[in-house]
Amino acid sequence: MIRRIRESDRELYYKYADMFYNSDVVNAPVPKENYKITFDEFMRSDDYVWCYIFEIDEKPCGFAMLSKTFSQEAGGVSVTVEEIFIEEEYRNRGMGTRFFEYMKENIPAARYRIEVEADNEKAKALYERMGFEVLPYIQMVIDKHNKECGA
């Protein structure tokens, strides 16, 4: 099952976010205070970001966080899969595929985006099966929390 996150999922979300950001599929962990900021935004509105909890046999097994922007290049709303995480014991059971199908059927957008580490071959294979294509972009940021950038 795929459902919207609820206030009662706060600790579950913190657990999953921590597992995700301390895994080998991301470049670096994020400050734990960011989990609270993000969860509070989930509860505040759907303006920028929203979250779904995955369940198998009525047990939570993962989550996905989406954000939205407008893209002139794509001609409309662009939805980015910011994070997707499935607990190890529940992987390879079709939950990722079900989520992407759910997203395309229920969350209309002109473009769907996802980032993936270059060496995460299993994830790339899933994303390609779901219709994602590689964009030849280099992504650049100014991060206010990155002390190395002088902010």
Contact 79, 51 (CB under 8 A): no
Give per-residue pLDDT as tens, 80-135. Answer: 999 999 999 999 999 999 999 999 999 999 999 999 988 899 899 999 999 999 99
Give per-residue pLDDT as tens, 66-89. Answer: 999 999 999 999 999 999 999 999
Give dist(CA 144, CA 133) in Å, integer.
30
The CATH number that applies at residue 136 is: 3.40.630.30
- Which residues, 6 or more positions from 66, have their beta carbon under 8 angstroms from its beta carbon? 49, 50, 51, 52, 79, 80, 81, 82, 103, 107
Give dist(CA 5, CA 50) in Å, integer.
8
Give dist(CA 27, CA 33) in Å, integer.
18
pLDDT of residue 149: 47
Residue 147 above 70 pLDDT? no
Q: Give the count of domains, the chain.
A: 1
pLDDT of residue 151: 47
pTM: 0.89
First-to-last CA distance in the chain? 42
Residue 48 structural domain: 2-149
Give dist(CA 24, CA 136) in Å, integer.
23
Burial class (CB in 10 A: 0-12, 13-18, 19+), 49: middle
